[in-house]
């Protein structure tokens, strides 16, 4: 195979598990969506444009899930990805800054720059927010992004820290963009989602309901003018989010019992346990994920490791550099335990070649 240098996740996105390929790459659940989602599409027959803001019944359903909200405060988007993009572009002010965590979800700095805003970073310490550093970086920003459980660290921020971030931002007039796409996937006792008048909530059906390819997410804001601006922008770009996917998302939001999420969480937890223990056995320096489905071990020269593991060992991993950390490699464990074990064996062989 030609060894084309792998420079970004775009090289791997959409490549599934192959015959012999083990993909620890893309953060997409391999589990099927709930059966209610398929049933909703059996006799589906609507193919016209729909409201740019999103189908009324889906927004109605969402507003019942978030206390005191109204359907007008939601916009249905092409995944959380479009929600992030729209919000940031709508927030543009000349010279405006946005603080993001580092390590970060790889799209954040790009989203901020595409909105002509400046990126500043608050550095996580072993995956956790350092409140003083957070305050120093957030001061004077238009917005901050918070992501807990986090991609790529797999950490869950504790409630007190999140409340302190929220209070600080509220006092300073900084908007908080809370990226909650992993809110249902946590192994800790609780997972707090930031909330308050200055919070814009972003979420998605991709991870909780294994619906990545449907491309349905949403945003919620208390600021009616901001929502209006976002809908106006969306009307000139993607227009409505796929109407069929919104029907599927409506089924997920209204017909799928909590038991589905509980059962899938059990599967994620088992995978996490196997993979984390396997990495410890290989002597890797890694913290035990508290949420989402990523392990983020230290590794020598992650860019080279990402290339060599793919071309020589048939394993997809993501270079930590893409997430703002050039000492680590990201492994998604969205694959079954058998494959995780095969991947660990190959990783062991690779690690032998880079031992001092």
Q: Give the residues lining the site for ligand PLP (CB under 6 A).
A: 27, 79-81, 105, 147, 151, 179, 181, 204, 206, 212, 217
Q: Look at residues 160, 38, 44, 152 and name the one whose alpha carbon lies nearest to residue 100.
A: 152
In the complex, minimum distance from the CB of residue 232 to ligand PLP, in angstroms, rounded to a whole number: 21
Q: Of the two residues 73 and 81, which places its CB atom closer to ligand PLP in the complex?
A: 81
The whole-angstrom separation of Cα 171 and Cα 313 is 51
In the complex, minimum distance from the CB of residue 83 to ligand PLP, in angstroms, rounded to a whole number: 8
Q: Of the two residues 147 and 307, which places its CB atom closer to ligand PLP in the complex?
A: 147
| Coil, strand or helix at 172 | helix
Q: Of the two residues 82 and 247, which places its CB atom closer to ligand PLP in the complex?
A: 82
Q: Are strands 175-179 and 199-204 parallel, antiparallel or unpaired?
A: parallel
- For residue 101, say if its preceding peptide bond is cis, omega within 30 degrees of 0: no
In the complex, minimum distance from the CB of residue 151 to ligand PLP, in angstroms, rounded to a whole number: 4
3-state secondary structure 174-234: CEEEEECCCCCCECCCCCCCCCCCCEEEEEECCCCCCCHHHCCEEEECCCHHHHHHHHHHH
Q: Of the two residues 217 and 297, which places its CB atom closer to ligand PLP in the complex?
A: 217
Residue with nearest beta carbon to ligand PLP: 79
Q: Of the two residues 243 and 351, which places its CB atom closer to ligand PLP in the complex?
A: 243
In the complex, minimum distance from the CB of residue 308 to ligand PLP, in angstroms, rounded to a whole number: 24
Q: Which two tokens stand for residue 245?
A: 């996917």
In the complex, minimum distance from the CB of residue 53 to ligand PLP, in angstroms, rounded to a whole number: 17
């Amino acid at each position: 195979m030609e060894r084309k240098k792998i420079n970004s996740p775009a090289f791997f996105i959409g490549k599934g598990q192959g015959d012999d390929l083990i993909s620890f790459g893309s953060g997409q659940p391999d589990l099927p969506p709930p059966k209610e989602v398929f049933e909703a599409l059996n006799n589906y027959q609507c193919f016209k444009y729909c409201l740019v803001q999103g189908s009324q019944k889906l927004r109605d359903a969402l507003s019942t899930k978030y206390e005191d909200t109204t359907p007008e405060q939601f916009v249905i988007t092409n995944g959380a990805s479009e929600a992030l993009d729209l919000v940031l572009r709508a927030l543009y002010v000349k010279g405006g800054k946005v603080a993001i965590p580092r390590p970060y979800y790889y799209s954040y700095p790009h989203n901020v720059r595409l909105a002509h805003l400046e990126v500043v970073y608050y550095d996580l310490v072993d995956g956790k927010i350092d409140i003083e550093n957070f305050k120093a970086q957030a001061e004077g920003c238009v917005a901050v992004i918070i992501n807990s459980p986090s991609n790529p660290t797999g950490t869950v921020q504790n409630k007190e820290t999140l409340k302190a971030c929220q209070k600080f931002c509220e006092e300073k007039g900084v908007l908080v963009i809370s990226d909650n796409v992993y809110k249902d996937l946590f192994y800790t006792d609780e997972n707090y989602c930031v909330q308050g008048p200055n919070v814009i909530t972003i979420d998605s059906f991709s991870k909780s309901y294994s619906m990545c390819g449907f491309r349905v997410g949403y945003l919620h804001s208390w600021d009616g003018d901001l929502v209006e601006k976002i809908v106006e922008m969306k009307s000139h770009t993607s227009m409505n989010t796929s109407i069929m996917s919104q029907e599927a998302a409506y089924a997920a939001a209204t017909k799928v019992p909590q038991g589905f999420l509980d059962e899938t969480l059990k599967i994620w937890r088992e995978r996490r346990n196997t993979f984390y223990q396997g990495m410890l056995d290989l002597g890797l320096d890694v913290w035990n994920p508290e949420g989402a489905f990523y392990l983020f071990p230290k590794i020598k020269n992650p860019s080279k490791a990402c290339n060599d593991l793919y071309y020589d060992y048939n394993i997809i991993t993501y270079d930590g550099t893409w997430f703002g950390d050039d000492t680590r490699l990201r492994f998604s464990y969205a694959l079954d335990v058998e494959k995780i074990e095969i991947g660990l064996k190959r990783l062991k062989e690779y690690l032998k070649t880079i031992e001092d």
